[in-house]
Amino acid sequence: MEPWQFIQKQSLPYKEKLTLAKLRAREFYDHCEGNVFASVAGIDSMTMTLFLWKYISRDIPAVSVSVLEDKSIQEAHKQLAQMGEFIILKPLKSKVQVIREHGYPIISKDKAGKIQLLQNPTEKNATVRHAIMTGETGEYGGYKTIATGSHMRLPKKWLELFGGPENERYGTNYKTAPFKVSNNCCYYMKERPCDIYAKETGRSPYMGLMASEGGQREKVLMRTGCNLFGKTVTRSCPFAIFSRQDILRLALEMETPIPAIYGEIRQQSDGSLETTRAKRTGCSMCGFGIHMERRPHRFDRMRHDNPKEWDFWMYKMEWGKVLSYIGIDWETEYEKQGDLAL
């Protein structure tokens, strides 16, 4: 699919997008001869699961590594388990293990991966590290530079905090972070357990991903479209062309159990829909995107909802030091306490 075709579909009316989602979901189900499953985490994928059970088949199992999610999401999963088959998988490594062995997930999956390479230099990754520092991709990347469209260079604000290991090589004066950074958390805790389940059962996943979320998801979905039948990857993202407004509208229509961490879905003064608390969620100790959140941010809400868990991550696992290093306020209690309960 060409990018312009995908963008065109994103601009369709809600009802037409819903029709396309049903067609793509049915196409995937038939292609896989019913050997499919729904990968479940937050509100998007829970809504997708109910959508699949209603329009495709009640026999599609929902699969989740629920232990990673916020407690209110785990409670919502229990409600789903009363409506259809719900399978809970175990992560390959615990949250504590991943942080101690690999590093903290911060900024974004893409940038954390680049920082991880800078912190672990080898002869084999020297060319990639050069691209991360300068934007110059060399032969492997078509000799691109920042001026010719390279996106490999780590933004300066992050190089200043994490580029220190390369100071001698480039004559720079960047800082070296006193902690490890990694994007391996999703692999060990979510992706790999689901991959193993898929291989053992012969089933392929439906995923509640949307290009409107931006980042790597947008790039991949615009390139592959809703359904991917590849040599190594077979998966369906029936809501790929949906906007946040689309998914919230569908969540109301499907009567999706809304976890407390999201608050409620309410109509705003401009007519749009929005959740009153968290807009997106993930693993309770995930730091991806935290630098773009205004207070009360996800860790403020954790402090309000589960102070013992907050204390464990902030102090015992030293998440507080990490947040302070990247300029995120966290230790002073958020002043507008009423906002936390919204």
Please give the average per-residue pLDDT across 305-329, as a whole number.
Answer: 95
Find out whether 301 and 330 touch, Cβ atoms under 8 Å: no
User: Predicted confidence band at 192 (pLDDT cuts at 50, 70, 90)?
Assistant: very high
Look at residues 215, 268, 253, 233 and name the one whose alpha carbon lies nearest to residue 55: 253
Q: Is the pLDDT of residue 102 over 70?
A: yes
On the question of pLDDT at 45 being above 80, the answer is: yes
Domain residue limits, the chain: 3-94+186-261, 108-170, 266-340
Confidence category of residue 305, pLDDT binned at 50, 70, 90: confident
Give the distance, in angstroms, between the CA of residue 129 and the centroid of all CA atoms in the same chain: 25
Cβ atoms of 38 and 45 within 8 Å: the answer is yes
Tell which wins on pLDDT, 312 or 261.
Answer: 312
Quick one: three-class SS letters along 26-86?
Answer: HHHHHHCCCCEEEECCCHHHHHHHHHHHHHCCCCCCEEECHHHCCHHHHHHHHHHHCCCCE
pLDDT grade, residue 336 (50/70/90)? low
| Predicted confidence band of residue 48 (pLDDT cuts 50, 70, 90) | very high
**Cα radius of gyration rounded to whole Å, the chain:** 21
Model confidence over 204-259: pLDDT tens digits? 999 999 988 877 778 788 888 899 998 889 999 999 999 999 999 999 999 999 99
DSSP 8-state secondary structure symbol assigned to residue 266: E
340 band by pLDDT with thresholds 50, 70 and 90? low
**For 152-162, what is each residue's pLDDT tens digit?**
899 999 999 99
**Averaged confidence pLDDT in the chain:** 91
Choose the weakest-confidence range: 67-76, 125-134, 177-186. Answer: 67-76
Whole-prediction pTM value? 0.81
- Cβ contact 261:305 at 8 Å: yes
- % of the chain surpassing 90 pLDDT: 73
User: Mean pLDDT, to the nearest integer, of 191-205?
Assistant: 95
Distance of CA 150 to the CA centre of its chain: 24
Model confidence pLDDT, tens digit, residues 164-185: 999 999 999 999 999 999 999 9
In degrees, to the nearest 5, what angle opens at C-alpha 59 toward C-alphas 58 and 61?
105
| 335 confidence band (pLDDT: 50, 70, 90) | low
3-state secondary structure of 87: strand
- Report d(CA 320, CA 303) in Å as an integer: 12
What are φ and ψ of residue 47, in 5° steps?
A: -65, -40
Average pLDDT of 61-76? Answer: 91
Residue 339's pLDDT is: 60
**Contact status, residue 64 vs residue 87, Cβ threshold 8 Å:** yes
Work out the pLDDT band at 144, boundaries 50, 70, 90. confident
pLDDT band at 264 (very low <50, low <70, confident <90, very high): very high
Q: Which pLDDT band holds residue 267 (cuts at 50, 70, 90)?
A: very high
Q: Does residue 337 register a pLDDT over 60?
A: no
Q: Looking at the predicted structure, is the pLDDT value of residue 338 above 60? A: no
User: 3-94+186-261 adopts what CATH topology?
Assistant: Rossmann fold (3.40.50)
Instruction: Tell me the DSSP string of 271-340.
Output: S-EEESS-SS---TT-EETGGGPPSS-HHHHHHHH-HHHHHIIIIIS-HHHHHHHTT---SSPPS-HHHH
pLDDT of residue 332: 87
- Calculate mean pLDDT across residues 324-338: 82
